[in-house]
Structure 1
Amino acid sequence: MKVNRFQVNVILGIANGIISALQTLWFIPYIKSFLGNEAYGYVSVINGLVNTLMIISVSVGVMSTRFIVVNLEQGNKKKASHYYSTEFFSLLIIGLLISILGIILSFNLRKVMNISSGYYNDVQILFLMTLFSFLIQLISAPFSASFYVKNSLFITYLIFICDYLSRIMMTIFLFSNGEKVIWSSALATDLVYLGMILIYYIYTRKNLPELILSKSLFKIKYLWDVMRSGLWVGISYAGNVMLSSLTTYFSNIFCGVIITGIYSAIMQLNIIENTVLSVLISSILPKMFKLYSNDDNQSLYNYVIDSMILTTLFIGLISSGIVVYGSDFMSLWMGKEFVKYRLLIVLTVIYLPFTLPSQVINQVFTVKNKVAIPAIATLLFGMLNVFLIIIFTKWLNLGIYGIAISAVIVQVLRDNIFYPLYLKNIINRVKWKLSIPFLIGVVYMALGISICFLVKKVIVPNTILSFSLSVIVSGILLFLLALTLYRKKEHLGG
């Protein structure tokens, strides 16, 4: 059977996610064994802080890529080059401004987060290294359009795989030579990303020679086009930061350093699903752009439904396993103290199969350049998340559980209510068919959790070997169930 580009992208994307997860599974206990529980918490908090600096850059990068790809698909090569050059030089300027802001912030980290005195210098270095890798990603954004046009996202996944492997090797090298530091993986990422931007540039020059990079093609008019839409993307990203990335920051502020390290470790289970989501979303975007460029709204709508179902089943497979095996896994991986956080583990993943698939709908807003209202809504939902976190943690004294509960409430409101309603507003074809992915998700989770519980009763995961066997058997059965439901979707109108 011939494997198409979509399948290659998904396969290597999933491989990238698996290697990322394995790297994390190795990295956290390795860091913990040398530096203690709180050390990895600093890594998560710094990543959250740096993500907040991406708001402006994302507003330019995402929409510029959209304009470049759509114009190339429609044959407007000169216009695409204008957007390409305008984006690149704009991001250079933004990168310089963010660098200045980041350096100033690095000398004032104690004003924005809790840091033990023994870690302050290391956290400063970690912040600057993480900022540097972000800046490289920022400048390479214009070249990423070529991967969507050529549907070759697998190249980026290969680079990320190299990044994850290099983090392991760099950490082992530094630790074995007496440098027990929390910034080892950040240093490895910086080195890999330097190579990445070179590969991106060469690939674009070779595969899209019609895209010209020149200062003379920089036009305020095109920057204004991007900024008008990009402003809303930036606002939306700000809301998403308040919904996700800043949770570890609020944990650090409201719950303390130790619990933040524990929460960060548990959230790695959540990150697995978000990684899978990112792979699927990236892989479906090239076809979305083509369908939109060809003005084929009916096919675009059908493709959205099909993609949501596929996403629901992928995420549901992982969530079912985590709900049943999560605490067992954390106990084997990080220690017996994680048994008492069983409820927290469940709260961080149980809702994801019903909310994450709506990110497919969110991509339709970007593709159709209908981003203003979703952006405002996401910002409001992000503010609601912060408000609920304060109520649950400070007023109701729910601690870290308050942060998890707030995420569930807010993301259900946004992803399951607002997104579908707004999609109906911009595509009048939206009918009951849009509910199919959510219904399949409910059925799959109920059956999937039941299957895992039954397998766990038969193969009790009390050792690493029996745990692995129990998970493998459950995984095979869950995959067969997902395959069955995906094939049956036609009978439901999917």
Structure 2
Amino acid sequence: MNRQILKNILSNGLSFITNMALMLALTPYLVDCLGVMAYGFIPLAAIFTSYIGIITESLTISINRNLTKAFQSNNRNELSEIYNTSLITVILVIVLLLLTMIYPINHLQDIITIPSSMVYEVKILFILLITSFLFSLIGAVYSVAMYAKNRVDLMQFNNVLRNIVRCICIFCFFYYDDISLISVGYATLVGSLCSVLFAYFYKIKLISYMKFDIRYFRLDKVQDILKMGGWLLINQLGFVLFMKVDLLIVNKYLGPEQSGLYSIAIQFNDVLRIFASIISGVLGPAILILYSQNKIDDMIKLTSGFVKFLSLSISIPIVIICVWSKEILNFWMGSSYISLSSLVWILTLPLVINIGVQPLFAIQVAMNKIKIPAILNIVFGFFGIVSSVLLITKTDLGFYSVAISSVIMLTIKNAIFTPLYSSYILNVDKRQFIYVHINTLIYTFISIVILLQIKNEYVITDLYDLILIVLLSAIVLLLFSLVFYTKNERDKFIKFIKEKA
């Protein structure tokens, strides 16, 4: 398993670099071609798919868990039953969701603020993005073969394939003068269809006997999937309240242009979360397999190491982005966007806490201990929305009020509850993951001081200078992070790399 984990980490790193490069190239290109106001509707459309995703992602997580357990037990009959029941259930859910989206799309201009000249174009964009998302759900069921076999490397390659196809299609459509939000929607749909075909191909290759047969549909399996999926649904709803409502609030109270600016600043947040999910995503299948094999001690050791590694590792790009935010915005988007630097700090810096806990969610899913976290997600998410609306209507903070409110609520939950609850269900020292937070905060504070000193001594005159100083900063912070690992942890890591090299 260790060899495959290393392979997954390397492929995930390559996936992150590729997807970040595509984002860095695509965002200014779309803003230049469409304008900042029109561009703002693309992440807004993604928010609507997130609302649908709170239902569908809950199902896919539950399906992954049940299928992986069946695969580990070598029970082909049960595997076929879960697979076919899952596929049919997802198809029925897709049909239901398509029907329920008819009214919101028809009245979209009453839900978000849209200039009258753009109503038709925005509606078509939403339809295409939602359709492409629903197609990807079928691909998610096919992808369980890769998940059950711990082939996260293939899953990440599929993710890269989808994004590359999407970007190529956008550039082709725009090159032939079809510059519109509708073209972006069609490009996204084509990318999703390619991803589904890739997942289907590897489903056949990895688990050839897992085939569609309606006779294997079992109603009791639907109940098993939905039983866990119900609390996952609530948990995902809380996540959407935390992460996906802020842009909608900005659009509703400040207008589409301000939401377009906000969506640019939050790109760094999104990229870092993708990076973290790529790293922690390696842990999901491994944790579930260890739990299915009742190797609890191995599961605890693996999780503990990952939490510390991810917390310190993710702090490096976070600190670099914050300290050099003005310079990055200047060369990436243009000098007129430098004013977003403060917003980047507010949205990005708290991620040193909020991202570091991501590996702990794999434990909660594997052990089916998601009821209490789901309830807390809803409670904190609700208070985050209320405080955002109050601040944006009662103060002159503008979109800063939304950023501050959502960040505070999420950070309180992840700084206190998530580490304590995870320690409780794992039956380990309650302070174990709190110590990781303290370690990370000390490292982050000192790292900011170090980079600010470098910034005072180093004058950036062009993009080459910026790239050079970012690389230098990364090397310095990486070497400095080694101080925060124990000698035993460093020795284990070096031994792990040598054994798998």
Q: Is the structural similarity TM-score above 0.5?
A: yes
Instruction: Find the aligned partners of 1:221 and 1:166 in 2 and give their Cα distance.
Output: 39
Q: Deviations over 1:116-153 (max 9, x none)?
A: 12222221121111111111111122222211222212
Deviates more, 1:357-366 or 1:484-493: 484-493
Correspondence 1:100-119 to 2 at 5 A: 100-119=99-118
CA separation of 1:125 and 1:293: change in aligned 2, threshold 3 A: same
- Whether the 8 Å contact between 2:246 and 2:402 is mirrored in structure 1 is yes
Aligned equivalent of 2:130: 131
Shift of 1:363: 1.6
Amino acid corresponding to residue 137 of structure 1 in structure 2: S
Question: Match of 2:16?
Answer: 17
C-alpha offsets along residues 135-177 of structure 1, whole Å, 9 cap, x if unaligned? 1111122222211222212222222222322333222222222
SS of 1:431 mapped into structure 2? coil
Paired with 1:226 and 1:124, the residues of 2 have a C-alpha distance of: 33
CA shift at 1:249, angstroms? 1.0
Whether 2:361 is the aligned partner of 1:362: answer yes
* Cα distance per residue 1:348-373 (max 9 Å; x no partner): 11111112121211221111111111
Equivalent position SS for 2:208: coil
Corresponding letter in the other structure for 2:89: S
**SS at structure 2 position matched to 1:151:** coil
Aligned to 1:67: 66
Name the CA shift for 1:183/1:283 in 2 (closer, same or farther; >3 Å). Answer: farther
Shift of 1:96: 0.8
What amino acid maps onto 2:176 in structure 1?
A: N
Which is worse superposed, 348-357 or 425-434? 425-434
How far has the Cα of 1:413 moved from its partner? 1.9
Once residues 263 and 487 of structure 1 are traced to their aligned partners in structure 2, the CA distance between those partners, rounded to angstroms, is 40
Gaps of 5+ in 1: none
Distance 2:285 2:450 in 1: 36
Q: Deviations over 1:254-283 (max 9, x none)?
A: 222111111100111111110111101211
Name the residue aligned to 2:499: none
Alpha-carbon spacing, 1:481–1:313, altered in 2? closer, same or farther (3 Å): same
Residues 18 and 307 (structure 1), Cα distance of their counterparts in 2 relative to 1, 3 Å cut: same
Match of 1:395 in 2: 394
1:463 corresponds in structure 2 to 462
- CA shift, 1:322, in A, is 1.0
Give the AA of the match of 2:185.
A
Tell me which residue corresponds to 1:92: 91
Superimposed CA distance per residue, residues 218-237 of structure 1 (whole angstroms, 9 cap, x where no aligned partner): 11111111111101101111
Tell me, yes or no, if the aligned pair for 2:132 and 2:189 is still in contact at 8 Å: yes
CA distance in 2, matches of 1:279, 1:484: 25
Matches within 5 A, 1:288-327: 288-327=287-326
Separation in structure 2 between the aligned mates of residue 373 and residue 432 of structure 1, nearest angstrom: 19
* Cα distance change on mapping 1:472 and 1:290 into 2, 3 Å: same
- SS of equivalent residue, structure 1 residue 357: coil
TM-score, normalization by structure 2:
0.93
How many residues are matched? 493
Identity score, percent: 23
Distance (whole Å) between structure 2 residues aligned to residue 195 and residue 486 of structure 1 = 42
- Indicate if the aligned counterparts of 1:49 and 1:246 stay in contact, CA closer than 8 A: no
CA distance in 2, matches of 1:180, 1:212: 42
CA distance in 2, matches of 1:75, 1:437: 38
Gaps of 5+ in 2: 494-501
Q: Secondary structure at the match of 1:405?
A: helix
User: Aligned equivalents of 2:224 and 2:468: distance in 1?
Assistant: 55
Q: Distance in 1 between matches of 2:467 and 2:157?
A: 27
- SS of 1:180's equivalent? coil
TM-superposition CA deviations, 1:26-81 (whole Å, max 9, x none): 22222222322112210011100121012221222111110110221133332222
Question: Are the equivalent residues in 2 in contact too, given 1:460–1:467 (CA < 8 A)?
Answer: no
Q: Which residue of 1 aligns with 2:233?
A: 234
Alpha carbons 2:142, 2:199 under 8 Å: kept: yes
Could you report, residue by residue, the CA deviation over 1:60-108 in whole angstroms, capped at 9, with x for unpaired residues? 2111110110221133332222221111100000011112223432222
- Does the CA-based 8 Å contact 2:420-2:433 persist in structure 1? no
Aligned equivalent of 1:165: 164
> How many angstroms apart in 2 are the aligned matches of 1:416 and 1:226?
31
Residue in 2 aligned with 1:411? 410
The answer (yes or no) to whether the contact 1:289–1:367 under 8 Å persists in 2 is yes
Query: In the alignment, which residue of structure 2 is the partner of 1:191?
Result: 190
What is the CA–CA distance in structure 1 between the aligned matches of 2:424 and 2:254, rounded to whole Å? 41
Query: Aligned-pair distance for 1:483?
Result: 4.2
**Corresponding residue of 1:55:** 54
Contact 2:166 2:190 (C-alpha < 8 Å) held by counterparts? no
Question: Contact between 1:167 and 1:186, CA under 8 Å: does it hold in 2?
Answer: no
- Name 2:496's counterpart in structure 1: none
Q: Aligned equivalents of 1:106 and 1:425: distance in 2?
A: 44
Check the 8 A contact 1:102/1:131 in 2, yes or no.
no
Residue number in structure 2 paired with 1:220: 219
Residue 147 of structure 1: aligned partner: 146
Please state how far the C-alpha of 1:292 moved relative to its aligned partner.
Answer: 0.5
State the distance in 2 between where 1:405 and 1:191 align. 37
CA distance in 2 between partners of 1:197 and 1:167 (Å): 14
Asked if 2 retains the 8 angstrom alpha-carbon contact of 1:305 and 1:437, the reply is no
382 and 133 in structure 1: CA distance in 2 versus 1, 3 angstrom threshold: same
Query: What's the counterpart of residue 43 of structure 1?
Result: 42
In terms of mean alpha carbon deviation, does 180-189 or 391-400 score higher?
A: 180-189
Find the counterpart in structure 2 of residue 479 from structure 1.
Answer: 478
Moved more, 159-168 or 128-137: 159-168
The reply to whether residue 453 of structure 1 matches residue 452 of structure 2 is yes
Stretch deviating more after TM superposition (330-339 or 238-247)? 330-339
Report the secondary structure of 1:4's partner residue.
helix
